[in-house]
């Protein structure tokens, strides 16, 4: 099967790859670009571990065809910490022990960052509903929700 040539931007850098027409973005990120921070927990869009930003929209990269990313801007968990500094969401997840096994964490980081960019002061309920697409089996979500809300407070300068 002939591969397709795709030009994108990944975490701010221009990036080109070849993909099969049926190949999904999470597969290319993980297995072609070696960005394995994006996890695959289901490949059916139910667990959120593969969350990335595509042109500023939060998506499950297992539901996006790699070819659809042509000309688009992809941000993965690897691009969240900048200049050797953690994003407040990452820092607060660590401080609140908001991860146990850590496999859902990259998806939570990407999704929570997107939430706080859209809504800098979310309520607990808003945070819970925004993250309802990110499954975590270890923590019971308590410490994740606290961490994300605390990160919001930090970003608001509180």
Partner 1 sequence: MTSDMKVKTKFRHVGTSPIRPDGLDKVTGRAKYGADLNLQGQVYGHIVRSPHAHARIKSIDFSEALKLPGVLATMSAEDLPEPGEALIPGAEIEMKLKNVSPVIMARDKVLYHSQAVAAIAATTPRIAAEAAKLVKVEYEVLPHVLDMHAAMAEDAPLLHEDNFTVGVDPAPEKPSNIAQHIVMPKGDVEAGFAEADLIIERTVHVPMCHQAYIEPHACVAKSDENGKIDLWCTTQGPFMVRLLTAEITGIPQKDIKVTASEIGGGFGGKTTVYIEPVAVVLAKKAGRPVKIVMSREEVFRASGPVSDAETRVKIGAKKDGTLTAIKSEMLMDTGAYSASAMFAGVLFGTAPYKCDNILSVGSEILTNKPRVWAYRAPGAPQALTAVECVINELAWELGIDPVDFRLQNAVEKDDIPLYGMPFQAVGLKECLQAVKDHPNYQAKLGENQGRGVACAFWINAGMQSSASIHVTPDGGLSVMTGSPDIGGSRASMALMAAEVLGVPFETVRPAVVDTESIGYCDGTGGSRTTLATGGAVIQAAEKLVEELRKRAAASWQVEIEDVVWMDGKAVERCGVGIDELIEGSSPVKDGAKVLTLAELAAAAGHTGGPLTAVASLHAHNAAPAFAVNVCDVEVDPETGKVDVLRFTCAQDAGKAIHPAYVEGQMQGGAVQGIGWALNEEYLFDDQGVLDNAGFLDYRIPVASDLPMIDTIIIEVPNEMHPYGVRGVGEVPICPPMPAVVCAVNQAAGTRLYDLPMSPPKLLAAIDGEA
Cα(86)–Cα(9) distance, rounded to whole angstroms? Answer: 21
Q: How far is the CB of 142 from partner 1 (least distance, A)?
A: 5
Cα(60)–Cα(26) distance, rounded to whole angstroms? Answer: 8
By CB under 8 A, what part of segment 62-101 binds partner 1? 76-78, 80-81, 86, 90, 93-97, 99-101
Interacting stretch for partner 1, rule CB under 8 A, among 2-10, 115-123, 134-142, 150-158? 134-142
28 lies in the binding site for partner 1 (CB under 8 A):
no
Per DSSP, which regions of 93-158 are E strands? none
142 lies in the binding site for partner 1 (CB under 8 A):
yes
User: Residue 52: which residues within 8 A CB-CB, separation 6 or more?
Assistant: 25, 26, 29, 38, 58, 59, 61, 74, 75, 76, 77, 110
Q: How far is the CB of 53 from partner 1 (least distance, A)?
A: 14
Residue span 30-49 as binding mask against partner 1, x where in contact by CB under 8 A, dash where not: xx--xxxxxxxxxxx-xx-x
Interacting stretch for partner 1, rule CB under 8 A, among 2-10, 113-121, 126-134, 150-158? 126-134
| CA nearest neighbour of 44 among 29, 58, 64 | 64
59 lies in the binding site for partner 1 (CB under 8 A):
no
| CA nearest neighbour of 47 among 37, 30, 61, 35 | 61
Could you list the residues that contact partner 1 (CB under 8 A)?
20, 30-31, 34-44, 46-47, 49, 76-78, 80-81, 86, 90, 93-97, 99-106, 109, 124-125, 127-129, 131-146
């Amino acid at each position: 099967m002939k591969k397709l040539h795709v030009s994108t931007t990944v975490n701010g850098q221009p990036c080109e790859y070849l993909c099969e027409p049926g190949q999904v973005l999470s597969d290319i990120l993980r297995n072609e670009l070696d960005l394995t921070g994006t996890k695959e927990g289901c490949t059916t869009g139910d667990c959120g571990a593969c969350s990335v930003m595509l042109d500023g929209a939060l998506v499950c990269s297992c539901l996006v065809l790699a070819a659809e990313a042509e000309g688009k801007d992809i941000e993965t968990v690897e691009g969240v910490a900048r200049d050797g500094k953690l994003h407040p969401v990452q820092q607060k997840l660590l401080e609140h022990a908001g991860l146990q096994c850590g496999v859902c964490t990259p998806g939570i980081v990407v999704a929570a960052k997107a939430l706080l960019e859209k809504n800098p002061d979310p309520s607990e309920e808003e945070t819970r509903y925004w993250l309802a697409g990110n499954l975590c089996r270890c923590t019971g979500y308590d410490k994740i929700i606290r961490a994300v809300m605390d990160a919001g407070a930090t970003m608001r300068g509180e």
